[in-house]
Amino acid sequence: MRVPACGAMGPFPTRYRARMDGSCSCCRSASAPSASPASSPRSQQVRGPLCGEAGSGNARGERSEPPGKRQRARTSSGQDVTTDEYPHRRRRSFRVHPGCCRGQRYGREVRHHRLAIGTACYYPRVRVSEGVEKVPSWKSRLRKELADRAERFAITHGLTYYRSCGKDPTILFPGEATTSRHGNFNDESYAAILANKSWADRLKKPHSQRRALPENRREDAKELDSSNSSDALLMNCFCYPEAAERILRDCLRMTPSGLVEFGVGGNVPRLNGKPDKKTELDMRVGDIVCEAKLTELNFKSKCAKVVEAYRDLDDMFDPSLLQPIDGKYENYQLIRNVLAAAAHAYHLVLICDGRRPDLLHQWWTIHAAIRCPDLRARTHFLLWQEVAEACPAPLREYLREKYGL
Instruction: Give the model confidence (pLDDT) of 28-56 as tens digits.
Output: 444 444 444 444 443 344 344 434 344 44
Do 168 and 86 lie in one domain? The reply is no
| pLDDT at residue 257, rounded to an integer | 83
| pLDDT at residue 132, rounded to an integer | 54
Do 42 and 15 lie in one domain? The reply is yes
- Among 106, 134, 162, which residue terminates a domain? 134
Percent share of the chain, pLDDT over 70: 66
**Range from 9-18, 145-154, 168-177, 370-379 carrying the lowest mean pLDDT:** 9-18
Q: Categorize the per-residue pLDDT at 278 as very low, low, confident or very high, splitting at 50, 70 and 90.
A: confident
- The pTM assigned to this predicted structure is 0.67
Tens-place pLDDT, residues 143-199 = 999 999 999 999 999 999 999 998 889 999 998 766 778 999 999 999 999 999 999
Tens-place pLDDT, residues 74-88 = 444 444 444 444 444
| pLDDT at residue 208, rounded to an integer | 86
End-to-end CA distance of the chain: 51
- Among 134, 165, 199, which residue terminates a domain? 134
Q: Compare 211 and 237 and report the one with higher pLDDT.
A: 237
Do 256 and 325 lie in one domain? The reply is yes
| pLDDT at residue 44, rounded to an integer | 41
Q: Categorize the per-residue pLDDT at 228 as very low, low, confident or very high, splitting at 50, 70 and 90.
A: very high
Number of domains in the chain: 2
Question: Cα-flanking dihedrals φ and ψ of residue 292, to 5°?
Answer: -105, 135
Angle, in degrees to the nearest 10, between helices 230-238 and 187-194: 90
Do 129 and 167 lie in one domain? The reply is no
Pairing of strands 328-329, 288-292: unpaired
| pLDDT at residue 161, rounded to an integer | 93
Pairing of strands 280-285, 70-74: unpaired
Asked if the model's pLDDT at residue 18 lies above 50, the reply is no
| pLDDT at residue 381, rounded to an integer | 92
Do 189 and 156 lie in one domain? The reply is yes
Asked if the model's pLDDT at residue 119 lies above 80, the reply is no
Q: What mean pLDDT do residues 316-341 have?
A: 94
Do 303 and 196 lie in one domain? The reply is yes
Q: Are 379 and 338 in contact (CB under 8 A)?
A: yes
The DSSP call for residue 81 is E
| pLDDT at residue 180, rounded to an integer | 79
Q: What mean pLDDT do residues 356-377 have?
A: 95
CA–CA separation, 368 and 317 (whole Å): 9
DSSP letters spanning 169-205: PPEE--EETTTTEETTS-HHHHHHHHTSHHHHHHTTP
Q: What mean pLDDT do residues 188-216 have?
A: 91
Do 275 and 392 lie in one domain? The reply is yes
Do 54 and 172 lie in one domain? The reply is no
Residues listed for the chain:
405
Mean pLDDT of the chain: 76
Do 91 and 111 lie in one domain? The reply is yes
30: domain range? 1-134
The DSSP call for residue 105 is B
Asked if the model's pLDDT at residue 358 lies above 50, the reply is yes
| pLDDT at residue 233, rounded to an integer | 97
Q: Residue 144: helix, strand or coil by DSSP?
A: helix
- Among 101, 134, 167, which residue terminates a domain? 134
Do 85 and 171 lie in one domain? The reply is no
Q: Residue 231: helix, strand or coil by DSSP?
A: helix
Q: Categorize the per-residue pLDDT at 133 as very low, low, confident or very high, splitting at 50, 70 and 90.
A: low
Do 129 and 241 lie in one domain? The reply is no
Do 25 and 79 lie in one domain? The reply is yes
